[in-house]
């Protein structure tokens, strides 16, 4: 399975799911980072002869407890271990995870990872088919691999007009980027799910807005509108 992410440049990037091995390796790297931190803090406290227990708990315990949550929030879905393994947390629909998503998967990590030494997480990831441990299922997230990504221009939607191309509907000058975005999304729904209702609705809206009468089929009509718009706005 892959997660499809659409960039602001209208490019689709297909990320494969991170393997169980990648996630375990990232977790072990994070444990190493935490261990180095603890050793450094212990050495600092001993050298400074600090014996206040609550200070030990705050200075050492809090960073360990919130390690994954804070790194994923501030490193856009990655901890140092995930960064090293080139994996990251995303929502299952390909959009960036939110603070709420990170918080939910962090809370459930205590069940996934701490109970039975991570066996629950491994089994859930391996069996589920979407690369999700229990925390991911609750949060609506998954973990993807950032290497070997496949970048695909949505050629069915974003048609580059020829240099000598003459627009079929010059009225497209009345449209804006938001209108074109709506058309693109309707075409994507039709392409990906076979649901033609958005295409039909958008076609009627564009025809009414621009005062167009045509016998072109709805899908071909919308592709033509996009092509005309790209050609005119590229001048």
Q: For residue 3, is pLDDT > 90?
A: no
Q: Give Cα separations from 88 to 78, 184, 207 (angstroms).
A: 5, 28, 43
Give the predicted TM-score (pTM) of the model. 0.63
Q: What pLDDT, on a 0 to 100 scale, did the predictor assign at position 235?
A: 59
What does the pLDDT average to over 176-200? 85
CA separation for the pair 114, 121 (Å, rounded): 9
CA distance 26 to 35: 14
Residue ranges of domains in the chain: 2-150, 155-233
What pLDDT, in 10s, does the model give residues 9-53? Answer: 445 567 788 989 999 999 999 999 999 999 999 898 888 887 788
Location of structure tokens 């960039």: 7
- Residues contacting 137, CB < 8 A, separation 6+: 124, 128
Q: Give helix then strand counts, H and E, for the chain.
A: 11, 5
């Amino acid at each position: 399975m892959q997660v499809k992410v659409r960039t602001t440049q209208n490019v689709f990037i297909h990320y494969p799911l991170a393997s169980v091995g990648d996630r375990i390796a990232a977790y072990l790297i994070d444990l190493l980072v935490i261990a180095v931190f603890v050793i450094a803090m212990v050495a600092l406290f001993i050298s400074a002869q600090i014996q206040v227990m609550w200070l030990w708990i705050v200075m050492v315990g809090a960073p360990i407890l919130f390690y994954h949550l804070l790194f994923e929030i501030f490193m856009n879905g990655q901890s140092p271990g995930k960064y090293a393994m080139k994996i990251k947390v995303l929502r299952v629909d390909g959009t960036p995870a939110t603070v709420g998503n990170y918080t939910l998967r962090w809370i459930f990590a205590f069940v996934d990872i701490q109970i039975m030494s991570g066996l629950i997480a491994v089994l859930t990831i391996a069996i589920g088919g979407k690369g999700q441990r229990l925390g991911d299922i609750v949060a609506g997230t998954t973990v993807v691999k950032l290497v070997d990504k496949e970048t695909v221009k949505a050629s069915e939607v974003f048609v580059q007009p020829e240099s000598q191309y003459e627009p079929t509907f010059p009225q497209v000058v009345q449209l804006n980027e938001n209108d074109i975005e709506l058309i693109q999304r309707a075409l994507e729904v039709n392409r990906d799910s076979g649901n033609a209702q958005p295409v039909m609705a958008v076609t009627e809206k564009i025809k009414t807005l621009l005062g167009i009468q045509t016998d072109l089929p709805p899908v071909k009509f919308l592709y033509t509108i996009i092509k005309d718009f790209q050609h005119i706005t590229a001048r």
